[in-house]
A = this chain, B = another copy of it.
Amino acid sequence: MKLATYRDGSRDGQLVVVSRDLQAAHYATGIAARLQQVLDDWNFLAPQLQDLYDTLNNGKARNAFPFDPAQCLAPLPRAYQWVDGSAYLNHVELVRAARNSQVPASFYEDPLMYQGGSDDFLGPTEDARFVSEDWGIDFEAEITVVTGDVAMGATPDQALDGVRLVMLANDWSLRNLIPAELAKGFGFFQSKPATAFSPVAITPDELGEAWEGGRVHLTLQSSWNGRKVGMCEAGAEMTFHFGQLIAHVCKTRNVRAGSIVGAGTVSNKGVANAKGKMDWPKGYSCIAEKRAIETIQDGQPSTGFMRFGDTIRIEAKGKDGQSMFGAIEQTVVGPNGAVPAAAPVVAANLVIPA
């Protein structure tokens, strides 16, 4: 089933069930008011939501209305946990290669994960507000899951059973704040502002065969200022699957229902072209990766980070071409919500080949 949270003036919004084609929605009133409630009591409430979902898909829900992603908060507008990983080692390899540093062997055994802020998520179409363009504003297109309760010490297989929902995320990053922050030794903090999520969260069964081995085998599309810059395959090159990531989180503590676990920037390996040089035909899911590629190829990056007024769209479609989670569509704005008058343009060299 597909679930979303509608804006209603409250901090947690109102839970709605959304039809498979994202055309219709129905308030879950009478079953649960908020998504966290459902996660807290999944076995009791999820079957009731599934019944409503089936009725809605059959066109028989009495109070259905057209679904509007612009009315959505994040599916969990705030959560008790948001842990993000860097599960696509290719991304780490590129970023490290750009600074002539090797990936330690242990990184292939032990996932890189950090604790993110979860008190103030952004809705899928909400502006992303930043104080300064100098901070190096970057998007990160990601796949995330929402868990049920997973006990301390769970194995990757047990942990994978704890996956309840799948969402897309835009893990906004402030690249120019990262070096000084990591140098302090305590990890990311100010460099990771509020994260945005897709309009709907979906149960893994909605993915059909695309949910396999704890990975989401879909193409994650990123469009920057209307030009497609990423068509990255999220499945095959995910080094650690979601069960492994969750098991990492619960090695020393319990993971409680409603925890969000992300896999980090989706990233695909480059391929050698006819001239024997490397190409990255699938593009990129964050600008930092594009800049790493440029640095490897040309000795320095040529693509700048995002400016006020820039837009980003992140989406994944199923085999049938239908949007699976709805699209994250955000505009970068200045401290007072301002955008410049002129429309921003992305240079042609940033765009992936058609």
Contact surface of A with B, Cβ cutoff 8 Å: 11, 40, 78-81, 83, 86, 104, 106-107, 110, 112-120, 129-131, 135, 152-153, 174, 177, 180, 182, 184-191, 193-194, 248-249, 251-259, 335
Contacts and interface: CB of A to CB of B under 8 A. Distances in A.
B190 A187 contact: no
Given A119-B256, A253-B193, A186 B185 contact: no
B189 A115 contact: yes
What copy number does this chain have within its complex? 2
A290 to B, nearest CB: 21
7 contacts: A78-B80, A104-B184, A112-B184, A115-B189, A119-B256, A131-B251, A194-B253
A194 B81 CA distance: 12
Contacts of A119: 80-81, 255-256, 258-259
B193 A120 contact: no
A113 B189 contact: yes
B113 A115 contact: no
Contacts of A258: 119
A281 to B, nearest CB: 30
A185 B101 CA distance: 13
Nearest to A256: B119
A253 B117 contact: yes
Contact of A186 (B79, B113, B249, B254): B113
Contacts of A174: 252
A131 B252 contact: yes
Given A120-B256, A174-B252, 13 more contacts: A11-B40, A11-B256, A80-B120, A114-B187, A115-B117, A115-B187, A117-B253, A119-B256, A119-B258, A131-B152, A135-B252, A182-B185, A185-B187
A104 B185 CA distance: 12
A340 B26 CA distance: 56
> What are the 5 A-B residue pairs with the smallest beta carbon separation, nearest first?
A187-B187, A80-B119, A81-B119, A115-B115, A119-B256
A341 to B, nearest CB: 24
Contacts of A83: 117, 189
